[in-house]
Chains A and B, each alone.
Chain A
Amino acid sequence: MSLSLFGQIAFNGIVLSSIYVLLAVGFNLVWGILGIFNFAHGHFYMLGAFLTWYFISSLGFNFYIAFIFSGVCIFVMAAIALKGVLGPLRENEFVCVISSLGLCSLIEGLVSAIFGGEARIVNLPVSGVINFGGVFLSFPRLATLLISLVVFSVFLFIVYFTNFGRALRATGSDPEIAQVQGINISRVYFITFCLGTLLAGLGGIVACHITPLMPHMGIDFSLKAFIVVVLGGLGSIPGAVVGALIIGLLESFISSLVNPMVSIIVSFMVVLLILLVKPSGLMGIERIESR
């Protein structure tokens, strides 16, 4: 295989990974801190793309304004989903999961009905290509990579350098004692859910020029998020990054060299293996085994 082909596939893989990071970190937050397995996570990803398309094509906004508006909408919709559907059922894990499946149908159905079921593409307002030693780095993909990195950096800043971020990590570490420090954990849970879901939405916006998104693909992206989080380890942000890199690159290579179908089978087998051997994932927190 020529170096430039390798480089091309690797570049695509890294761009893919950057999107998966956003998708997975958000999922990690929601699952890890709130304990909610939200099947509709990927639907918010898809929703981000559709909203942006709508703002651009029907309301004539430019990309950046549409981006911001979509973000706000996603945040609000996540709040509604939490308060109305998932939050009240948090105690009963299984019913909550089924409920999130209902949410999937709801979102999917509404999107199809309102925006139509065809794939929508949102083109980033950049174009062009750089030739980097035989590897073609397209500007849109570079833009995706850049925006993802920026969003992720802002997220990291919030989590590691703000008061709220500390409250979030404390709540994730020990909710009881976090309360004792004066932290209102209900509010923390609320913002965490909306934040995590927002990340997914933003990921969808920058991703959809690469793969056109259709309403029914929501679940596939929830699965992607889940695969990455299990691989990297629940509760670990570095783990989510590592997991995203592995899956992104793996997917890129296997899809290009073999067959997209095979890459999905491989992903799931990897997850199955992880679940059997080290359920806490590559970098997850090992809990003391007592039955």
Chain B
Amino acid sequence: MLQVRRLVTSRMWKPSLSVGAWALGICIPFYIKDPFFLHVLNIIFIGITMALSWGILARTGYISFASNAFLGIGAYTSAYLVMQLHIYYWIGYFAAGAMAGFFALFLGKIILRLKGIFFVLSTFCFAQIMLRVFRTAEHITKGADGITGIPTPILPFIGSLESHAQFYVLFYVYATFVVIFTMRLYNSNIGREFKAIGEDMFVAESMGIDTTRRKIIAFVISSIITGLSGSFHAHYTSFISDTTFEMTKSIEVMAYNVVGGMGSIIGPIIGVCVMVPLPEFLRGFVAYQIALYGLILILILRFFPAGIWGTIRRAHSTIPAESKSLRLSYELTKEFKLGFGNPIRHNRETLLECRKISRYFGGLAALTDISFSIRAGEILGIVGPNGAGKSTLFNVITKVLSPTRGTIIFEGKNITGLRPHRINRMGIARVFQSKVLYPEASVKENIVRAIVARSGFNEIKDFFGLERRKHQVILEQTQQVLELCGLYSATGELPKNLPHGFQRLVGLAVALATKPKLLLLDEPITGMSLEESDIIARILENLHQSGLTIIMVEHNVNFVMRICHRIMVLDYGQKIAEGTPQEIRRNPEVIKAFLGG
């Protein structure tokens, strides 16, 4: 069975135990009748759903301060529809989620292109604006007076919910749904892509993940759940006003995650269980309640910055010592051809062409009018002394930077303005030195996932067992890549535990898994021994035989001379020579550029 598909991932619980515990949990109201106790638990369940939904977006690395806004949007939508328009509760409920989702879609398209703190702050602004809107849009929200007497949800056969116990059961089930949904999401391809985006957005983008769409999806899902929770909140507490949705709500949601431990599912749950009842415990201190709450938060973060669950996980995880046992003298047992490489194109058509590429930084010209092309099946090396612009040129080709002037043409199509994931889909792959998309997964997993993303694998069909043949193909291709890259002895290891040389190979393998026509390498042998460089050279030769076209930027001219068919030399941002290795070696201009003077 493909490792990619897992139903309920559990190293920690055994399935039967968890179902039993769950059943016990739902029976609690039969034994404990104290309404206040049940009330606190109800708040905890809603808190769990809020914390988890926030965590879905946080997984992509985007922190939102706007949970309170979406909670309010859901609450007001539901209350308005049910009370003013007399709509059946459950339609109002789903409408609440939908409304939150629409807001998120609209907002996300605008602000998700902001990075880091700027995104955070813009969600903050949005939340502040919505708070004022809640206060002033009186015909819907009744402003500061708020909406009172919100009716409780109506369940078929049971009628209108009345007691805390009934709400308990409803919220328990709801929280269960959200927990299971989140677990499934995190285990699906799209959920893993969220994590990859959070790890390193640019690497994810370069590996063909459409990060913009994914981020919007995460934001919308997160907001829908929050909106649904908002509806429940309103119809449970029967009163909402703008003060119900103050910024403290957002801050609490973040505190649940941070205190409990971000990035997991158990973490936020623990966070909620700790932080929600805390004010109750502190009630005895009357005047100092708020101060103590703050102090406890500070202390927890100071000594457990990874959160409670995060710290527990770290203490218990056995980090295997760097696998030094993997000898660096791996053997390529046979000269191997990559099976899914594109057929060798000896017809010499131009694959990539760069026309008059210039790049300025302010007034400084880093690149001036660089033009070159590479034909299918060639290996091209780009060399030059320090500061010549090699890295800049590489960054322009790989879309880290955009050229100030000039165009890039791939297979006849202009790709100058395209985003990295588009050009990856078109067949250009860049090798990252030691970054993989899924650092928590083994080498083999990383390659499998990359291939899966490229093979038109349909998750839904697979669920019904209709993609078995694809499984086989994918596994074969994974094998090919692993063997070609000399990784056979390291398949089960985590990339970060591997010795440096192996990590380079993993980077290469992952790039190959995206089935490129053109491979771009940035200093492939920096920091590697002569033996290791030798292995890389042989792998590249095999790739060439399999039909791949390769461009590499390298300092080590020796290596480039050995492998490349053609070499281009840069100096001071300009092309000063281009030709075969022999021609370059004898070129006095080149020697002068390198040795100076």
Residues of A that sit less than 8 Å from B by CB? 37, 84-85, 88-89, 92-95, 98-99, 101-110, 112-113, 219, 223, 226, 230, 261, 264-265, 268-269, 271-272, 275-276, 279, 288, 290-291
Contacts and interface: CB of A to CB of B under 8 A. Distances in A.
Given A37-B117, A290-B401, A265 B129 contact: yes
A110 to B, nearest CB: 5
B292 interface: yes
Nearest to B292: A109
A261 B136 contact: yes
B265 interface: no
B288 A105 contact: no
Interface residues of B, number: 42
Given A88-B302, A109-B294, 18 more contacts: A84-B302, A93-B117, A95-B301, A101-B255, A102-B294, A102-B295, A102-B296, A103-B298, A105-B295, A109-B288, A112-B291, A113-B288, A226-B121, A261-B136, A268-B128, A269-B125, A275-B118, A288-B362
A223 B121 CA distance: 10
B111 interface: yes
Contacts of A84: 302
A291 B302 contact: no
23 contacts: A84-B302, A93-B117, A94-B258, A95-B305, A98-B251, A99-B298, A101-B254, A101-B297, A102-B255, A102-B301, A105-B293, A109-B293, A112-B287, A112-B290, A219-B247, A226-B121, A261-B135, A268-B129, A276-B110, A276-B114, A279-B118, A288-B361, A290-B395
A104 B290 CA distance: 10
Contacts of B135: 261
B594 interface: no
Contact of A110 (B63, B121, B255, B291): B291
Contacts of B400: 290-291
A84 B301 CA distance: 11
Nearest to A40: B294
Contacts of A288: 361-362
B122 interface: yes
Nearest to B299: A102
Most A C-beta atoms less than 10 A away, residue of B125, B254, B291: B125
Interface in B116-169: 117-118, 121-122, 125-126, 128-129, 132-133, 135-136
A291 B430 CA distance: 15
Interface of B: 63, 110-111, 114, 117-118, 121-122, 125-126, 128-129, 132-133, 135-136, 202, 247, 251, 254-255, 258, 287-298, 301-302, 305, 361-362, 395, 400-401
A272 B292 CA distance: 34
Given A226-B121, A268-B125, A98 B290 contact: no
Contacts of B132: 261, 264-265
Contacts of B110: 276
B289 A109 contact: yes
Contacts of B298: 85, 99, 102-103, 106
Given A98-B255, A99-B302, A265-B132, A291 B125 contact: no
Nearest to A264: B132
A272 B123 CA distance: 9
Contact of B291 (A106, A269, A276): A106
Contacts of A223: 128
A105 B118 contact: no
Contacts of A261: 132, 135-136
Contacts of A89: 301-302, 305
A260 to B, nearest CB: 10
B124 to A, nearest CB: 8
Nearest to A85: B298
Contacts of A109: 288-294
A271 B202 contact: no
B121 A230 contact: yes
A137 to B, nearest CB: 32
A288 B400 CA distance: 12
Contacts of B63: 94
Contact of B202 (A110, A264, A275, A291): A291
A271 B297 contact: no
Task: Give the top 6 A-B pairs by smallest Cβ distance, nearest first.
Answer: A109-B291, A105-B294, A109-B290, A106-B294, A102-B297, A113-B287
Nearest to A99: B301
A233 to B, nearest CB: 13
A102 B258 CA distance: 12
